[in-house]
């Protein structure tokens, strides 16, 4: 009973603290800081004069760091963290089997080198803390988590915030994610529609080309660790654009942001092509005559998918979509299960004619395999939201291992079943009269509907300030964005080739080249020779893969268009 009363007291105490307004909390914090500073001065006594110069220097350095930290949140795109969290976060309870002591020890022992060490104290488990912390502990913890303040009492006037002028899209996911939640977020970031083309990638490159999938997995994991080192280099870094700004200034932030949003736009184009291909496979004879135009099944279903997506992008509050944005993981796993069911239970059979190595179309396979690991734009968000950031390397290792096993299983089973007749998506090869096929196709079709709205947030920031709160302009921008993806998807309706182009041109930049370049720029003079050599190796692999893959994909797209 006593424990229950203490819990109630603790709960109501926290609720009362949360209900306080921001201005009062800020003022109390500054007053508390001044009291501690005065106490330090009295304790130092006669040493005050001797240390005045040192304290002024420290305060100026702290002020410069705080101003630099604030600059990361005032440049375009300010909504990046918000939109990516909604795009990728999994609103789920703690996953116990993913947070076992074995995996935790693996993350804290094997990855304890200088490459992955975080210079912040680990958050202690709740069970070792007292239920009701003392006032002194609360004051210490608040000062430890907040950035240092200058000795002068700063102004209480706050910098205008972009988010305060818009509809709140608060993400229903805690920013103190457990190990299991972080793993699910990592899997959700990596596991997408790229899994549908893995059998086609084996067909393009042969069985030996499947080794590229595992090589890319290792290199992608390594560059994900480099992003952590970049985030730890300065306070205030939370997103990929922040890393670009820390490495190359505002130009770097804009360049990386544009690359990331172009990649997301291209993925939306892929969704339109995917919808048209899969729905037309279910209803091949569907057509429509509209204003003298004859729309065949592929064009008809692409248009219908666009019209179905539009209501989702018109929502004022996009946070509701984050509850179902994690459906990509379920859809991918279910599609692979249906593939295995058809091959093993429905006994479709296996092909005996396969290729060991195909050098002619191997660059296309490189682009397809590269697309499978296009989740680096989300990794900084996952890292900054973890309750125990020192587990981040283990989280990445678990996510990459599970996703790579899933990709390899789909690739091997799909190519063994369909051989050289493997199409751009294995759902198109599956017999249409089977129930498992219909489950796989419809799951694949429904999943992309939640991905569109988050791309528009960055474009809305570019609106004039007098139109910033107008929902009409927001609707126009989002509608134009969706329609533009329809036109591009109809103009280049080649799913695997567009995916290979994205994987070669954009994913190689985001996943391989930019993390290494930013790491070398931010931590120049502080890295070892081995780290420098490894970064150069990854950059060379990324550049070579990008050049050959892009040229091959563009050549085949032009051939098909002509």
Residue 282 lies in a domain: yes
Which residues form the domain of 413? Answer: 179-462+472-561
Q: What is the pLDDT of residue 1?
A: 46
Type and span of the H or E element at 94: none
Residue 162 lies in a domain: no
Q: What is the pLDDT of residue 242?
A: 92
Q: What is the pLDDT of residue 268?
A: 86
With b for 16 or more beta-carbon neighbours within 10 A and e for fewer, the 493-522 pattern comes to: bbbbbbbbbbbbbbbbbbbbbbbbbbbbeb
pTM across the whole model: 0.73
- Give 364-393 as a 3 state SS string: HHHHHHHHCCCCCCCHHHHHHCECCHHHHH
- Three-state DSSP state, 72: coil
CA atoms within 13 A on the CB side of 17: 10
Residue 288 lies in a domain: yes
- Judging by beta carbons within 10 Å of its beta carbon (0-12, 13-18, 19+), is residue 296 exposed, middle or buried? middle
Q: What is the pLDDT of residue 470?
A: 67
Q: What is the pLDDT of residue 261?
A: 86
- Three-state DSSP state, 294: strand
Domain count, the chain: 1
Strands 288-290, 293-295: pairing kind: antiparallel
- Judging by beta carbons within 10 Å of its beta carbon (0-12, 13-18, 19+), is residue 248 exposed, middle or buried? middle
The answer to whether residues 118 and 232 touch, using CB atoms and an 8 Å cutoff, is yes
**CATH number of domain containing 525:** 1.20.1740.10
- φ and ψ of 8, to 5 deg: -65, -40
Residue 199 lies in a domain: yes
Residue 531 lies in a domain: yes
**Terminal-to-terminal C-alpha distance of the chain:** 79
The answer to whether residues 54 and 183 touch, using CB atoms and an 8 Å cutoff, is no
Residue 342 lies in a domain: yes
Q: Which two tokens stand for residue 221?
A: 């994991």
Q: What is the pLDDT of residue 166?
A: 44
Residue 39 lies in a domain: no
Q: What is the pLDDT of residue 44?
A: 47
Q: What is the pLDDT of residue 60?
A: 57
289 beta partners: 294
CA atoms within 13 A on the CB side of 270: 28
Q: Calculate the alpha carbon distances from 412 to 207, 318, 417 in Å.
A: 9, 38, 8
Torsion sign over Cα 497, 190, 384, 401: negative
| Nearest of 546, 545, 521 to residue 535 by alpha carbon | 521
Which residues of the chain fall short of a pLDDT of 50? 1-6, 8, 10-50, 61, 91-97, 99-174
Neighbours of 562 (CB within 10 A): 5
Residues in the chain: 562
Residue 222 lies in a domain: yes
């Amino acid at each position: 009973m006593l424990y229950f009363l203490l819990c109630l007291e603790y709960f109501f105490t926290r609720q009362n603290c949360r209900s306080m307004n921001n201005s009062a909390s800020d003022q109390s914090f500054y007053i508390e800081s001044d009291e501690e500073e005065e106490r330090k001065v009295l304790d130092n006594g006669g040493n005050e004069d001797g240390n005045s110069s040192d304290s002024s220097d420290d305060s100026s350095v702290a002020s410069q760091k705080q101003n630099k930290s604030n600059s990361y949140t005032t440049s375009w795109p300010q909504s990046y963290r918000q939109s990516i969290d909604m795009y990728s976060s999994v609103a789920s309870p703690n996953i116990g089997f993913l947070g076992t002591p074995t995996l935790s020890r693996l993350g804290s022992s094997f990855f304890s080198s200088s490459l992955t060490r975080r210079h912040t104290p680990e958050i202690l488990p709740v069970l070792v803390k007292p239920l009701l912390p003392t006032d002194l502990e609360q004051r210490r913890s608040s000062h430890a988590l907040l950035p240092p303040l200058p000795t002068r009492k700063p102004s209480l006037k706050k910098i205008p915030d972009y988010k305060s002028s818009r509809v709140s899209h608060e993400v229903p996911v805690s920013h103190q994610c457990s190990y299991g939640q972080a793993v699910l977020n990592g899997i959700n970031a990596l596991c997408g529609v790229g899994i549908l083309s893995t059998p086609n990638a084996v067909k393009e490159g042969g069985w030996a080309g499947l080794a590229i999938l595992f090589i890319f997995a290792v290199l992608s994991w390594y560059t994900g660790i480099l992003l952590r080192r970049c985030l730890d280099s300065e306070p205030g870094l939370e997103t990929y654009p922040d890393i670009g700004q820390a490495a190359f200034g505002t130009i770097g932030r804009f360049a990386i942001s544009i690359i990331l949003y172009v990649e997301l736009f291209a993925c939306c184009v892929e969704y339109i092509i995917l919808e048209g291909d899969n729905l037309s496979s279910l209803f091949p004879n569907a057509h429509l005559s509209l204003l003298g135009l004859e729309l065949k099944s592929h064009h008809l279903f692409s248009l219908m998918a666009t019209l179905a997506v539009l209501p989702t992008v018109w929502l004022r509050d996009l946070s509701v979509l984050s509850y179902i944005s994690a459906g990509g993981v379920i859809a991918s796993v279910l599609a692979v299960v249906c593939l295995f069911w058809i091959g093993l239970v429905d006994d479709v059979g296996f092909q005996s004619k396969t290729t060991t190595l195909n050098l002619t179309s191997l660059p296309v396979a490189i682009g397809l395999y590269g697309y499978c690991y296009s989740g680096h734009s989300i990794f900084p968000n996952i890292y900054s939201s973890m309750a125990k950031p020192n587990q981040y390397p283990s989280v990445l290792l678990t996510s990459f291992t599970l996703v790579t096993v899933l990709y390899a299983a789909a690739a091997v089973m799909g190519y063994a079943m369909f051989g050289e007749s493997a199409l751009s998506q294995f759902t198109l090869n599956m017999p249409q009269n089977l129930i498992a096929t219909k489950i796989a196709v419809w799951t694949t079709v429904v999943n992309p509907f939640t991905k569109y709205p988050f791309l528009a947030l960055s474009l809305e920031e570019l609106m004039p300030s007098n139109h910033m709160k107008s929902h009409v302009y927001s609707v126009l921008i989002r509608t134009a964005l969706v329609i533009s993806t329809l036109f591009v998807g109809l103009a280049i309706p080649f799913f695997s080739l567009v995916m290979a182009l994205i994987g070669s041109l954009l994913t190689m930049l985001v996943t391989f080249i930019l993390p290494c370049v930013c790491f070398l720029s931010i931590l120049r003079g502080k890295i070892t020779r081995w780290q420098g050599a490894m970064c150069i190796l990854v950059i060379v692999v990324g550049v070579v893969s990008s050049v050959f893959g892009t040229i091959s994909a563009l050549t085949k797209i032009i051939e098909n268009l002509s």
